């Protein structure tokens, strides 16, 4: 008989399978000798109380062994010569998965990508990291794998009903992602492993008869006699025809959205969130979340700690987003007149810093006007204002001494946020907070007002009186509390 059992074990017993036997037997009310096999199928950390524990979900073979488990493998489908052609614009996660799905359905995907392949693309990140100069069409967002390639690779989602989540994990493992993602309650791949996974997915598409074309930017649509879509026009003047066109161009390709408006395609504004990215010493987050004194070393069995914050201010949700333990802040702009950042970490999550986005929701109704792209204009305005307000100056070393939000440099190095020419701030004082919300409410405000918001955060950063970061009053943490965060640092 095969059973599924949940047990809770101490940190020390996490890797000691023999130590799992007794609690499993107790749960099943059987003698441990009847257990012939144990397999971990889900794992999470319970850090709500001290001591921190591991929650394990196990498959248990009672009176019989467990069936062997094969690792997910990608089966290359065979495509018929007369397969219908699907043009997929964009080789990000959406484009790659759409291509694999087309192959499953017997359709031939032709993926068109404006950027370079993942290996070549890597070299194009240097100018933005070193000088803040964006290479158009080849940057943190554009190129093979889209924004996903150098992303953090956090795969956690609560939206299990919206798609086959397990199948997505299996597809990623079949293309080289670590098998742990099948078990971990908060699966994570890491920026260093993702390019390999993305390239393996492209290999699968090509081996199965699909095509992936790089440095091929779509700039227009081809119409038939009855105005039906019959393909796309590329920036080099080439035309690509097909039976269906899928636009998987992501959220950074504002030019494609404008093209869609010009082409009179139906678009709807949707809610989104804007905010800032904050950075703390990882040791601070570890000590708070895992309940130990700062300065002690984190137990080696525990990963860099995460946190999650959510609250409502004046009826509007403010929450942490895309928290990267042991990670880096990276510049994610796609144009040279803007500053926008994101966060990522390597698979081992061992940077001395933790960062997270702190965002507030913006509804389409917050933005006056009829223009369907008004949210995009607001976003652009904010990113441009960030540039004008001089976020580049954050690289200057005097800001290293900014208390609270800017962690002390570790071993004399710059913080990753400084390296990323980025923003590290939180709605620390009421002025900043209300400015933040005001902008969120009146996003159509002139550039001046938006710049005011950015300036307010900037002032908060450089103004020594703005040091009191007390998240316990500003936010009600979703899980455990992070209070009075490091007044010293
Ligand atoms: C640093 C960073 C960290 C992130 N971390 C996470 C994370 O941990 N977890 C998570 O879930 N998400 C994360 N994200 C977000 C995630 O990467 C995106 O949500 C995801 O990549 C969106 O996938 P997509 O395929 O829809 O679009 P994109 O990834 O944006 O891909 C769109 C692709 O289309 C191409 N394209 C655009 N226009 C054209 C055109 N005209 N012609 C041809 N090609 C075109 C682009 O070059 C791009 O490659 C992160 C993003 C960044 C930048």
Q: From the CB of 329, is ligand 1 less than 6 Å away?
A: no
Residue 282 near ligand 1, beta carbon < 6 Å: no
User: What pLDDT score was predicted for residue 386?
Assistant: 66
Residues 320-371 pLDDT 10s: 788 999 998 888 889 998 878 888 999 999 998 888 887 777 888 888 889 9
In degrees, rounded to 5, the angle at the alpha carbon of residue 133 between the alpha carbons of residues 129 and 138 is: 85
Q: What is the pLDDT, as a whole number, of residue 329?
A: 82
pLDDT surpassing 70 at residue 424: no
The finding on whether 322 has its CB within 6 A of some atom of ligand 1 is: yes
What's the pLDDT score for residue 77?
A: 86
Model pLDDT for residues 148-194, shown as the tens digit of each residue: 999 999 998 877 777 889 999 999 999 999 999 999 999 999 999 99
Quick check: helix, strand or coil at residue 210? coil
Question: Which residue has better confidence, 87 or 461?
Answer: 87
Segment 215-241 mean pLDDT: 96
Instruction: State whether residue 6 is helix, strand or coil.
Output: strand
Please state the φ and ψ torsions of residue 217, each to the nearest 5 degrees: -95, 125
- CATH domain 85-262 topology: FAD/NAD(P)-binding domain (3.50.50)
Q: Where along the chain do its domains lie?
A: 2-62, 85-262, 272-488
At residue 430, the pLDDT reads 35
Q: DSSP per residue over 213-256, as a string?
A: ESS--EEEEEE-TTS-EEEEEETTS-EEE-SEEEE--TTT-HHH
> Which atom number of ligand 1 is nearest to the Cα of residue 95?
25
345 lines ligand 1 (CB under 6 A): no
Q: What is the mean pLDDT of residues 2-15?
A: 94
DSSP state of 154: B
Give dist(CA 391, CA 13) in Å, integer: 47
Mutate to test the pocket of ligand 1, among 136, 148, 201, 320 (most ligand atoms within 8 A of CB): 148
Q: Among the listed ranges 10-24, 197-211, 227-241, 279-293, which one has the minimum average pLDDT value?
A: 279-293
Cis status, amide bond into 455, omega within 30 of 0: no
Asked if residue 95 has its Cβ within 6 Å of ligand 1, the reply is yes
Looking at every residue in the chain, the average pLDDT score rounds to 79
pLDDT at 420: 37
The whole-model pTM stands at 0.84
CATH number assigned to the domain with residue range 2-62, chosen from the 4 options 3.40.50, 3.30.70, 3.30.160, 3.30.1150: 3.30.70
Q: How confident is the model at residue 93 (pLDDT cuts 50, 70, 90)?
A: very high
User: Does residue 280 carry a pLDDT above 60?
Assistant: yes
Atom of ligand 1 nearest to the CA of 115: 47
From 146, 184, 323, 351, mutation site for ligand 1 pocket: most ligand atoms within 8 A of C-beta = 146
pLDDT score at 277 = 74
What confidence score (pLDDT) does residue 388 get? 64
Q: When comparing pLDDT for 419 and 285, which is higher?
A: 285
């Amino acid at each position: 008989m095969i059973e599924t059992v949940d047990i809770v074990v101490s940190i020390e017993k996490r890797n000691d399978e023999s130590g799992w036997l007794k609690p499993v037997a107790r749960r099943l009310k059987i003698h441990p000798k009847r257990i012939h096999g144990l397999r971990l199928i889900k794992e999470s950390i319970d850090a709500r109380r001290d001591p921190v524990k591991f929650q394990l979900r196990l498959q248990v073979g009672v009176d019989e062994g467990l069936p062997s488990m094969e690792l997910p493998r990608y089966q290359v489908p065979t495509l018929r010569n007369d397969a219908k052609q699907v043009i997929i614009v964009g080789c990000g996660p959406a484009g790659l998965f759409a291509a694999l799905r087309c192959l499953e359905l017997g359709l031939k995907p032709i993926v068109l990508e404006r950027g370079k392949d993942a290996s070549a693309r890597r070299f194009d990140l240097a100018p933005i990291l070193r000088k803040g100069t964006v290479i158009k069409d080849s940057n943190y967002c554009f190129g093979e794998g889209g924004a996903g390639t150098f992303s953090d690779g956090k795969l956690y989602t609560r939206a299990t009903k919206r798609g086959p989540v397990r199948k997505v994990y299996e597809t990623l493992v079949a293309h080289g992602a670590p098998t742990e993602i099948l078990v971990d309650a908060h699966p994570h791949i890491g920026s260093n492993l993702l390019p390999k996974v993305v390239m393996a997915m492209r290999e699968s598409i090509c081996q199965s008869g699909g095509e992936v074309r790089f440095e091929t930017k779509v700039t227009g649509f081809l119409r038939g006699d009855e105005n039906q879509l019959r393909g796309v026009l590329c920036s080099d003047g080439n035309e690509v025809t097909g039976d269906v066109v899928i636009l998987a161009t992501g959220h950074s390709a504002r030019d494609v959205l404008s093209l869609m408006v010009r082409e009179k395609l139906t678009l709807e504004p949707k809610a989104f969130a804007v905010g800032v990215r904050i950075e703390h010493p990882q040791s601070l987050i570890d000590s708070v979340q895992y309940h130990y004194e700062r300065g002690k070393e984190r137990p080696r069995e525990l990963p860099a700690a995460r946190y999650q914050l959510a609250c409502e201010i004046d009826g509007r949700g403010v929450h942490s987003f895309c928290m990267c333990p042991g990670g880096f802040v990276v510049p994610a702009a796609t144009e040279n007149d803007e500053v926008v950042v994101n966060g990522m970490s390597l698979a081992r999550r061992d940077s001395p810093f933790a960062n997270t986005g702190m965002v507030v929701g913006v509804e389409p109704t917050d933005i006056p006007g009829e223009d369907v792209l008004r949210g995009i204009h607001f976003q652009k305005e904010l990113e441009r204002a960030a540039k004008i307000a001089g976020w580049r100056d954050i690289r200057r070393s005097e800001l290293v001494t900014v208390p609270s939000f800017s962690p002390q440099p570790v071993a004399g190095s710059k913080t990753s946020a400084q390296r990323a020419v980025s923003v590290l701030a939180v709605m620390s004082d009421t002025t900043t907070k209300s400015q933040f919300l005001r902008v969120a409410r009146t996003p159509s405000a002139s550039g001046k007002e938006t710049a005011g918001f950015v300036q307010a955060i900037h002032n908060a950063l450089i103004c020594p009186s703005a040091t009191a970061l007390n998240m316990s009053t500003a936010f009600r943490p979703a899980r455990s509390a992070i209070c009075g965060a490091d007044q010293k640092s």
